[in-house]
Chain A
Amino acid sequence: MTGPTPTKPAPLSGIRVFDMTRVLAGPTCTQILGDLGAEIIKIERPGRGDDSRGLGPPYLKDTEGKDSRESAYFLAANRNKRSLTLNLTSPEGQSIARRLIADSDVVVENFRAGTLARYGLGAEDMCKANPRLIYCSVTGFGQTGPYASRGGYDYLVQAMGGIMSVTGEPDGPPTKVGVGVSDIITGMYAAISIQAALRHRDATNEGQHIDMALLDAQVSWLSYVGENYLVSNEVPERLGSHHPNIVPYQVFEAQDGLMVLAVGNDAQFKRFCTFAGIAEIAEDERFTTNGGRVTNRETITSILADIIKTKPINHWVDGLIGVNVPCSPINTIDQVFANPQVEAREMKIEMEHPLASNGKVDLIGSPIKLSASPVSYRHPPPMLGQHTDEILTKLLGLSEEQLKKLHDDGLIS
């Protein structure tokens, strides 16, 4: 697939976002907005920049095969942005920020609650100055409640929000999800909120303040696992790779390795049994319905395990896909990016990068596929301060002398 031919600019074209976020949750949000066409001005501390620039190894390799300054972590969440260094702790830096915000549609920030208000850049002041402004704060715990002033990290929220307690083997320790999933899902919710607020502004001409918290988002995506507790008062435990409500839906060991079998309904179970040559099992009244299989989980699982281990993964995956029974090998990351479906969907993209050894950097594509106004990839993840002069010249009309003075004073870098 080469993707749809764009007939319209990406949907958020013309929207300007003043982005004071760092690390992962906020940058995920603004990267999504950027993919959808918004102009993202990323504000970074002079000198050091976004903390995530230093979160390596690994770093992008330069032409000599040495580590560049750009961490993989930073590259993952910062395309389609331009970088402006600005010292927000100085009155002059704050004044420049206020002038840029006056011309922005959206502010996104993830400072601790109260910090930006001290700089005169808080939601209340900014929304008063620009009533159409949408101001989104992303924090660990939100602007309210007993933990409002605490710093929050993905990991703490995975621990506190319960997802670690249900991830991992039943006899093993609680397990962190292998990516910063609390951060990422919070970033997605923030993007949803901002767009809904843009729609509200179109209807009413009114901006607003959005208060997004990692812990809130974590609770919502516990989804049915949280709900199972709320209705039963039984504390959900780790099931390894089993599903609490569906059987068989887990990892099985085939002759040559591990695979996943995910039978979602009774008809699929019947087709599985027929393919596996155990049609009589599907007729056994203990196992004909999902409810019966959940009740007799151990019995049915051990019957299936005995059969599955007699044949290699390919036998099962190819054969079962042919009869529409969901299953998959458990891919490692290199296998994922070699997968033909992942390739066909353009989930790996390539952008030019001046520091990279071959001038290119591989990035993960956007999963949002719009037919007429698709996402666009315009800027590679920026180098620190790469666009400072350009932005200040174009948007605020600063002269070369003024820029030089700001540089000399260390307010920009």
Chain B
Amino acid sequence: MDEKGPLDGITVVDLTRILAGPYCTMVLADLGARVIKVEEPVKGDDARHIGPFIKGKSAYFMSLNRDKESIALDLKNTEDKAVFEKLLGRADVLVENFRPSTMEKLGYGWERLHADYPRLIFASASGFGQTGPYKDRAAYDMVVQAMGGIMSLTGHPDTPPTRVGTSVGDITAGLFTTIAINAALFQRHSTGIGAKIDVAMLDCQIAILENAIARHVASGETPQPLGARHPSITPFDAFHAADGYLVIAAGNDRLFEALGLALGRADLVTNDLFTSNDLRTTHAPALKDEIEMTLGEKKVSHWLELFTAKGIPCGPINTINEALADPQIQARNMVVESKDTAAGTVRMAGNPIKIEGMPDPTRRNPAPDLDQDGKKIKNEL
């Protein structure tokens, strides 16, 4: 393929702020779409005011808005509305994450948009969705993490429910919105008609509960936090070696056997308590004690090297700096940078979508200053 992303030629008008929406439009931009960020004059995206700051610019904002253009428009002002409507005339996708009914109040409800711009795909990402008893409530990531159950599954059996260490409620909503937009773009190719998309952060939390509902239904029990242990695969846990933790994930009988042999503990493999995954899960604490007894004799690095050589899935528990310095992450171009006019060189996470032949530059266009492209865009119109 040529040196353009698969969404080359698609124009996205982006009214989103903070995290969920901007994460979605960042993925679209990474895939080659042109993203025009429409921001409130003066104040701009709220994320511009969330720290930490480098020379007055928000790192939070910069990490989510690379490769986008910015135009400041007041959607309550007649002149600016005319510009916005011209933009919509050229857009393929409109994304917003206001509270439900805000777009109607601004005069841009779906009925009007669909009548005036029948090919336009209109995606809304919100806390609770456009329907249901909570639709008018404000939501933040932590609210949906709490309400959606993931906090009740995360943590250790004797600690309070624990928030996932990044905003997984926002990010999964951003990703599901991206999936929906791509599906609608694909369908539009054959039908010529746009679509209205309604993605809720709370829905997305439910959608990623994995087997928790099935566990609840099948056993009648309420799933609880298991610390670092996997609920139905054993041994699949964080273990203590002489100088710290490592993770071992022996997902089947063959790997468990390899683990037993690597530990010099063939007795574990033949022990009647541990001969199947079901049995190992039932006797998980006893097995963990046995494994740690041996692991405690040597350092983490010794065990990682040995297990890796034997093909047993294992890994260190990296801190963020260790993770980003990892040779695999470097080799995959997962830390990229942009040159910001004020802040200088800013490093940020790269694009995990690696498509053969698609450009994956290490140097990205910086997040725009507020209204940086306003004049240019108005001239184009």
Contacts and interface: CB of A to CB of B under 8 A. Distances in A.
Contacts of A156: 247, 249, 313-315
A387 interface: no
A150 interface: yes
Contacts of A169: 155, 159-160, 162
B210 to A, nearest CB: 4
Contacts of B331: 144-146
A326 interface: yes
B166 A225 contact: yes
Nearest to B206: A347
Nearest to B173: A367
A227 B348 CA distance: 6
Contact of A167 (B154, B179, B183, B313): B154
Contacts of A102: none
Given A144-B332, A195-B186, A241-B160, A372 B245 contact: no
Contacts of B222: 332-334
B166 A166 contact: yes
Given A169-B159, A227-B59, A151 B311 contact: yes
Contacts of A219: 323-324, 329, 334-335, 349-350, 352
Contact of B219 (A57, A140, A151): A57
Interface string A231-246: 1110111111111011
Interface in B338-381: 346-358
B263 interface: no
Nearest to B46: A265
Interface string B196-227: 11111011101111111111111100111111
B43 to A, nearest CB: 11
A130 interface: no
A161 B210 CA distance: 20
A192 interface: yes
Given A155-B249, A215-B332, A1 B216 contact: no
Nearest to B5: A196
A321 interface: yes
A165 B319 contact: yes
Contacts of A56: 232, 278
A176 B320 contact: no
B149 interface: yes
Contacts of A152: 313
B204 A367 contact: yes
Interface in B45-97: 46, 50-52, 54, 59-60, 62-64
A111 interface: no
A8 interface: yes
A269 interface: no
Interface in A217-234: 217, 219-233
Interface stretch (B140-148, B265-273, B287-295): B140-148
Contacts of B160: 169, 240-241, 251, 258
B256 interface: no
A112 to B, nearest CB: 10
Given A11-B183, A258-B160, A327-B143, A177 B354 contact: no
A223 B227 CA distance: 23
Contact of A225 (B32, B165, B311): B165
B206 A192 contact: no
Nearest to A227: B63
A134 B271 CA distance: 46
Nearest to B184: A11
B152 A331 contact: yes
B162 to A, nearest CB: 6
B164 A336 contact: no
Contacts of B350: 216, 219-220
A391 interface: no
A348 interface: yes
A73 B132 contact: no
Contacts of B285: none
A371 B278 contact: no
A366 B159 CA distance: 31
A145 B327 contact: yes
A128 interface: no
B143 A328 contact: yes
A379 B334 CA distance: 37
27 contacts: A23-B251, A56-B278, A72-B215, A145-B327, A160-B323, A161-B318, A163-B165, A165-B318, A168-B165, A177-B154, A178-B153, A178-B225, A199-B10, A208-B358, A219-B352, A221-B168, A222-B166, A229-B321, A232-B52, A238-B165, A250-B163, A251-B163, A328-B144, A333-B209, A342-B203, A368-B199, A370-B198
Given A160-B318, A227-B59, A371-B110, 4 more contacts: A178-B155, A226-B63, A335-B149, A370-B184
Question: Which 5 A-B pairs rank lowest in CB-CB distance, beginning with the nearest?
Answer: A178-B153, A72-B214, A166-B165, A145-B331, A367-B203
